Each structure stands twice: as structure tokens, then as C-alpha cells.
Structure 1
Amino acid sequence: MNHHPGLFIPGPTNVPDAVRRAMNVPQEDMRSPDFPKLTLPLFADLKKVFKTQRGQPFIYPSSGTGGWEAVLTNTLNPGDKVLIATFGQFSVLWADMCQRLGFTTEIVDVEWGKGVPLETFADILAADTAHDIKAVLGTHNETATGVTSDVAGMRKVLDAADHPALLFVDGVSSIASIDFRMDEWGVDGIVAGSQKGFMLPTGLAIICVSEKALEAHRSSKFPRCFFAFEDMLRTNKDGYFPYTPATPLLRGLRASLDLLFEEGLENVFARHRHIASGVRAAVSAWGLDLMAKEPKWHSDTVSAVCVPPDVDAVKVLRRAFDRYGVSFGSGLTRLSGKVFRIGHIGATNELMLLGALSVAEMALVDCGAKIALGSGVAAAQSSYCAGESVLAKAA
């Protein structure tokens, strides 16, 4: 008998039935007089998710990578200097984009398993008295290593140096899952993707930029077309797009936002912390380590689990999929064979993760890991029982 496979990768995530049904609609006229009834409330509600009153949201038919490019090319000029830390595959890719686009890119290479190095950034920004650095880039949640960085701390570092650089954040695997406060933290550009906390298929780059970023856009001479803010601003104000939007995904986004607001964003964040705590308890009970080096780096949306030296994580992934019908995330580039990733982002609950952890245990044992079957599941159960009061308080 064929069963729906278990999906516990950090994106794309599970799509709730209500969201899938919302997308199962006939194609519609994106130029019709009533189309703004859908789109204008979407723009307004995205500001609530990003926790901004002054920011300008944009929705592109793209992946999160397109969102990176949109923020950079609309606010900076060719050859501008940017500062970025790399500590996992996705921060590496963002830095690579900066180099390929021709920006002068100062890269701070950090040990994988740690996050944005605030002290190092502070020294670099304090020394940049000529203000050559035009933008500081930070990955809020590094999906490859299960590491969450301190975005509020990045803003404090910039302010302490009295530095005018723009602050751009990759929030692809954090937005709508981990607390993010655009206005309070002084973020000038935030990038999200539809396939993570928004619980949609891949296909939308959802970004928001500050008034300061829009001001920088007015003097930006970087070549752009598809991602041009000016085209979006001209048409979005009336509820339309400069080209054909992904209308079924917009319908799904409406349903997703309704689910998020029905649960309450603070409750969504508390649920992710709660679910993640059980996964971390299981990993500890197995006697294994997370890729995240310290608790302050722990991600509430994805856990990268280090396998024992004599176990191949690639074989664990294959065993979980072939024998038990469950997908976990692979270790990327230098982490291939060394870690597997458990995604606990989006539409997840205790039941789902307990099943995933039981499969992870069996696949590990099948591949030679010396762990006791049931140990991780029991630890997660204890964590979930103890955490019930936390969820009740959040609700």
C-alpha cells in the first residue's frame, strides 16, 4: 500500500489541508476589478507577520534566492561594499551572490555551528570610519546547521558604531516560525520564502523593506528588471502586479495567514520552541550532538544532528526513506555524511515529531549507531509533557 511520505525536511514543509484547498481554484483574471480585494489585505497582513508599521512588503513569483537578489540590487550600487558572515551553506550562497553581482564583499568566515559574530562585526564597523560598508547581511536562521543568530544584536552593533549601513536579513527559515521584529530591530530588508513557515509550496519570495531602504533605492543604479521595486511600487499600490502573479499561491497565502493569525503569532513561536525542545531532548538521549555549538545558537525550526564517526549520515537518510518512508534533510556540502537534519517548521505538532524521532532512531540503529531504541522518543515525550504549561501560558 502506498502511503503519504513523512516530510521532515526544513523546507518545503507540510502544507495544511486548508491551504491546499484554497489553492485548488480555477485560474482567474489578475487584472479584474476585484483582484485587489485579495492582494491589498495580503500586503497589509504581511506587515503584521514582519512586525512593521512602516515597512513595504513585496511578493515575487520566485524562491527566497530571488528575494536576496531583489533586496541587494534595488538598494545598492555596483561595487558597493557589503559585510557578511558565513557559517553554513545558505549564508555561503548569499555571500557568493554578492560576489557574483559585483559587490565588494567582506566575508567573515565563522565555524559552522555558530552564528553571526557580533564582536567581530563590532570591530569591523567601528574601524570603518569612512562608512565604506553600505550593507550588513545576516542569516537569521542558518538552515544547513540549525543555528539562529541574534538580529537585535546586529542592530545594537550598528548603532554602537553609529554606522549608517543598511541591515539586511535572510529570514527564509525563521519568518512565521521564530520571533522577528522588523521595526524594533531596525531591519532594512527581510527575505522570506513561501515554502517554510508560510506553509506553502515553493514559488513566492516574500520580502519587506524599510523606508531607509526605499530611500536608498532612489539612488541605486544597479541594473534590474524583473525584481525592480519601482515596477512593483507602481502597480502594488492599486493591488496589481507588473507581470502575471502566481495567483493560486496568493490564494494559499491568504489561507496560510488566516491560520497563523487564528493561532496567534506568539503562540506559533511558542509551539515551535516547544516542538524543538523535544527534538533536542531526543538527540541528547541518543548521546549525539547538534551541529549548533551552544544552546544560544539552537534553532527552533531545524536541528542538524551529528551522527557517530562510524555512521554515514547519507545511509541513515536513505534507510529512513527506503524502509520507513520518511524524509529528513541531508547534510549539505562539507556536512554531507556527517549530519542529517530534522525539520520541525510550519504545520507540526508533537505527534508528528514523535513519529519522526522513532524513525530516526530505527534508521540510526539500522546503520550501526549504538543507541537504545525508544530512548529519544521517551526523552521527547517527557519534554512535551513538561512543556504543556508553556503552551497553555502562550495561548
Structure 2
Amino acid sequence: MSGFKGLAVPGPTNMPFEVRRAMDVALEDHRAPDFPEFTLPLLADLKTVFRTETGHVFVFPGSGTGGWESAIANTLRPGDRVLASIFGQFSHLWVDMCRRFGLKVDAIDCDWGTGVPLDLYEAHLAADRGHEIKAVLVTHNETATGVTSDVRAVREILDQLGHPALLFVDGVSSIGSIEFRQEEWGVDVAVAGSQKGFMLPTGLAIVGVSAKALASRPANGLPTCFFDYQDMLKFNADGYFPYTPAATLLRGLRASLDMLLDEGLDAVHARHFRLAEAVRRAVGAWGLRLCAQDPRWYSDTVSAIVVPEGVDANDIIKSAYEKFDLSLGGGLSKVAGKVFRIGHLGYLNEIMVLQALGGAELAMRDVGLSFEPGSGVGAAISYLSEPGADAALAAQ
């Protein structure tokens, strides 16, 4: 089929031409005396995106899963107790990793389509008078279900109770796209991945670590080597890495950061809200609903769309890919076959969203769903063309 393939999954996301060009360079000497002239400003600008001044942002070759592992291995010891909640595939996998590391996990099972249960977190932490819980895990944006949770509120609970537990946040599909304030929200370890809001290929785990977390490595803790924070901190101070870095990806990251900072982080967040709301208007016009059960959970980076009973969402995804050259995200685990996902994050504008919605309409009608052709695209256009409508909604 001629033309471009459409990419509307929640990661990897579309890669800007500026990022591609930045990575189209000869390989370089990562021990060169002038390499720090490139890396030190890069690490400083990452702190701006994470919105931390006193912490440090590490860049590991890897994925978000590696970032999770770094948080656990650098701050906890075998048998430590952690508090977490499961409401989607990625929050589930983080809990699974904790258990593999020999941690004791207070895992709260929630309905998929909801987010972090603040009341239950408060109850668990209030009951923990001996402060046995050493870390609290929050999946900021659950990519599998299109749900965003309130990180700030979890920190407020910890502070109100005077609980010293570290706060870990999975921000893989949020950081660089929707509001995230590491220092203000008291987040101790925040994990991101290069293939989402940073608009890069997969291959970098980007991890923001607070001063508190850096100082909290326990005696007889878990072993670290590749993901050791102290090794990285020592080498990063001079602009280097303890092993060969993914320098080509770092060049792309430089271009990505330039784009984010030139647009302005607040403008980036507003753009993501605007485009996400356009998708939500389309879903309503189709007569469908989101997996997220309430507007307070709605994600501005991914929408998981529930298909009617008797319809297999995988048929829609297959039709979109094979007949219309559009990649849609599939349902994972408990929601497999029940939802398809539209990613709306990273390098994205209005016409790209309309392309994804139009392709989804073609695929849904191809498998027999009944709705007025163009209704979703039309609803999105109506919203996007209303002056000030997005600003009014964002203020609600």
C-alpha cells in the first residue's frame, strides 16, 4: 500500500524528523575530552523536564523496566515491605518484579479502569505505625487502561501521616507529555522511557532520583552493578558514564529536549489535553466508552476504548493494520479483546489525531460496528475548532 503507515499506539510514538537527523551521525568517542560539553547540559535539561532541582536524572541503556529495577535495587533490601496497587498490566508487572526481588508487597487489587485508591493507601499507611513499609509505588499513567492517578495526593497522604516511605512513580507514559513535578510532589524515584513522550526509539531508561533516595541505600541491600546509582553519579559528575553509553540515542535525546523546552512544558501539557479531549469526543460520538471509569481517571496520553459485547477488539486492530496501514494498540491481559487503544502522545498534532480517528472508523465499520460514518472525526473537529473550548475544559 502506498503512503505512510499510521502509528497510533501508545509507544513507540512518532519520531520527529529533527530527532532522526540528530541521530544520523558518525559514531563518536564517549571518552573524548569534549564529550562532557555535550552531556552535562543534557543532564541539566533533563532535570528541567522532570522538574527537579536537588535530584539527579540518570540515563541508562534500557527500557522503563530497567528503570523500575534500578529503583528497587538501589534503595531496598530483601524482605522489605512495599505498598502498591494493581489496576492494569503495567502496575501488575511492577508488583511482579518486586516479588521476584524478594520484597513483601501489600498489593491492592483494583478494578481495571480505576487508578490508585487513595483511601486504601491512607488506611494501609496509617496502620503501619512501625513504618515497615519502605516504599510506595504509584503507576502515574496506566498505559493498558488509559488511566492517570493523582501522584501529588499520595505524597500528601505520606506527609500528613509523617510516614518516611519512599515514593516511586512509573511515569513511562506521562513524563514529557502530561504534568509531572518531581520535586514539588516529593517523588523519590521517577521512571520514564525514551519511546514515549521523549519521541525517541526504545533504548533509554530515564530515571529521576531525589536526594533522599540517593542517600537511602541500605546496608545489606540488594546487589547492583549495571543500574548502580552511585557509580553513575560518580561518572556523571564529570560528564561521563561508567560504561559505553547509547551515544547516538543521547544525540536524539538532545534534539527531543530542545523541542520540548522550545514549546514549553506547560504548552506541551496543554496540547496533550487538547488532543486527548478530541479523541474522547470521538469515542462518545461513536456510542462507545472508555475503559477509564470516570473523568478523573482520563489519561491525556492514551485512550483505551471498550468495544461492544460480541465484538473482538483484535479484529478491529487487525483490520486497521492490514487494510488501512494503521497501528492501533491492543488490549493486554484482563482487557485483551475487549479494548483497542489510541495513543495520543509525543510528536502529535490535530491532523495526526484525525488520521488515527479516521482509520479507526474505517476499521470498526469494516468489522461490522454500526455508527454514523465520520461521526467521531466530526466530533473531534467540532471540538478542535471551538475557540477557547480546550482552555475552559482544562480549567475544570
Same fold at TM > 0.5: yes
CA distance in structure 2 between the partners assigned to 1:212 and 1:48 by the alignment: 18
Q: Tell whether 2:385 aligns with 1:385.
A: yes
CA distance in structure 1 between the partners assigned to 2:338 and 2:387 by the alignment: 30
Q: Give the corresponding residue for 2:191.
A: 191
Q: Tell whether 2:235 aligns with 1:235.
A: yes
| Mapping for residues 112-191 of structure 1, pairs under 5 Å | 112-191=112-191
Deviation at 1:323, TM superposition (A): 0.5
Q: Tell whether 2:353 aligns with 1:353.
A: yes
CA distance in structure 2 between the partners assigned to 1:392 and 1:253 by the alignment: 33
Is the 1:271–1:391 Cα contact (8 Å) retained in structure 2? no
Is the 2:7–2:327 Cα contact (8 Å) retained in structure 1? yes
TM-score by length of 2: 0.97
Structure 1, residues 283-341: CA drift from partner, whole Å, max 9, x if none?
00111010000000000000000011121100000000011000000000111111000
Is the 1:267–1:391 Cα contact (8 Å) retained in structure 2? no
Identity %: 59
Q: Give the corresponding residue for 1:364.
A: 364
Is the 2:290–2:304 Cα contact (8 Å) retained in structure 1? yes
Q: Give the corresponding residue for 1:47.
A: 47
1:46 maps to a residue whose letter is L
Paired residue secondary structure (1:216): coil
Is the 1:75–1:220 Cα contact (8 Å) retained in structure 2? no
Q: Give the corresponding residue for 1:222.
A: 222
Residues matched between the structures, number: 394
Q: Give the corresponding residue for 2:253.
A: 253
Q: Give the corresponding residue for 1:330.
A: 330
Structure 1, residues 99-139: CA drift from partner, whole Å, max 9, x if none?
00111111000100000000000000000000000000000
Structure 1, residues 231-277: CA drift from partner, whole Å, max 9, x if none?
10111100000100001000000000000011111000000000000
Gaps of 5+ in 2: none
1:151 maps to a residue whose letter is V
Paired residue secondary structure (1:97): helix
| Mapping for residues 283-362 of structure 1, pairs under 5 Å | 283-362=283-362
Structure 1, residues 165-197: CA drift from partner, whole Å, max 9, x if none?
000000000001000011111110100000000
Deviation at 1:2, TM superposition (A): 3.5
Is the 2:67–2:206 Cα contact (8 Å) retained in structure 1? yes
CA distance in structure 1 between the partners assigned to 2:54 and 2:151 by the alignment: 18
Gaps of 5+ in 1: none
Q: Give the corresponding residue for 1:208.
A: 208
Deviation at 1:3, TM superposition (A): 2.9
Paired residue secondary structure (2:157): helix
Q: Would the alpha carbon gap of residues 383 and 168 (structure 1) be closer, same or farther in structure 2, given more than 3 Å must change? A: same
2:10 maps to a residue whose letter is P
| Mapping for residues 73-88 of structure 1, pairs under 5 Å | 73-88=73-88
Structure 1, residues 9-36: CA drift from partner, whole Å, max 9, x if none?
0000000000000001000000000111
TM-score by length of 1: 0.98
CA distance in structure 2 between the partners assigned to 1:296 and 1:138 by the alignment: 16
Is the 1:146–1:298 Cα contact (8 Å) retained in structure 2? yes
Deviation at 1:391, TM superposition (A): 6.8
1:264 maps to a residue whose letter is G
Paired residue secondary structure (1:282): helix
CA distance in structure 1 between the partners assigned to 2:226 and 2:57 by the alignment: 16
Paired residue secondary structure (2:94): helix
CA distance in structure 2 between the partners assigned to 1:167 and 1:345 by the alignment: 25
CA distance in structure 2 between the partners assigned to 1:91 and 1:79 by the alignment: 20
Paired residue secondary structure (1:48): helix
Is the 1:125–1:163 Cα contact (8 Å) retained in structure 2? yes
CA distance in structure 1 between the partners assigned to 2:368 and 2:354 by the alignment: 21
CA distance in structure 2 between the partners assigned to 1:225 and 1:304 by the alignment: 37
CA distance in structure 1 between the partners assigned to 2:255 and 2:79 by the alignment: 41
CA distance in structure 2 between the partners assigned to 1:262 and 1:84 by the alignment: 36
CA distance in structure 2 between the partners assigned to 1:289 and 1:315 by the alignment: 18
Is the 2:312–2:337 Cα contact (8 Å) retained in structure 1? yes
